[in-house]
Amino acid sequence: MDLSPIFISFKTAIVAIVFTFFIGTVSAYLIFRMKTRELKMLFNSLFTLPLVLPPTVFGFFLLEIFGVEQPIGRFLLDFFAVKVVFSWQATVIASVAVSFPMMYRSAIAAFEQIDPELFAAAQTLGFSEMKIFGKIALPLAVNGLLAGGVLAFARGLGEFGATTMLAGNIAGKTRTLPLAIYSAVAAGDWSLAQKYVLIIIVICLVILFLTEIFTKKTRGFNR
């Protein structure tokens, strides 16, 4: 059995979750602290859109951004000699793009569980927004953020559609576990496909178990 899809999947998901966790947490806090309700609704809709879009459609949008004939893709290629499409970096970009909404929604939910009076008291004491974020919001929302991070990691690990569109299915380079399962089935190798399926099921069960732990800690803390 080729183990490269497992290593590629984990490498991709680990690098992606670093970006997803940071961007998702900061974005969620900024939107959470917005005063204009209409703007919050707009950003919530925009940032959640990848959850409801078909992955291939979102992959098409990524191609429109990073394709070598598109402005950003051409700029990266001409000035940095970086071709995103069909590269391992493309698997990371696809993973970040599809897992971000899950992290964002989890972070928003975690911040909303904090007592609003704590924010008001901190403002009365002259805390800056950065200090409120670091001293109050993050410590109180940490378990919810970790639960969101674990779910986002799982989503990135299982990404298929957008990865196929942007990164392709190149053995030893961009072939992740979901793509390896697809390739094995397409080749009629059911035994190999079953092994890959069993591996990803075990991984997902462990991830869901960790999510339950963090979720229970959050509920216990807020009681």
Q: Which one, of 94, 10, 84, 88, lies nearest residue 59 by Cα?
A: 94
Quote the DSSP letter at residue 86: T
Separation CA 211–CA 199 (nearest Å): 19
CA 105 to CA 171: how far, in whole Å? 34
- Topology of domain 4-222, CATH: MetI-like fold (1.10.3720)
**Could you read off the pLDDT of 186-196 as tens digits, one per residue?**
999 999 999 99
Q: What is the pLDDT of residue 172?
A: 93
Domain boundaries along the sequence of the chain: 4-222
Contact 91, 84 (CB under 8 A): no
Buried b or exposed e, range 191-207, using 16+ CB within 10 angstroms = ebbeebbebbeebeeeb
Instruction: Tell me the pLDDT of the chain averaged across its residues.
Output: 91
pLDDT over 70 at 217, yes or no: no
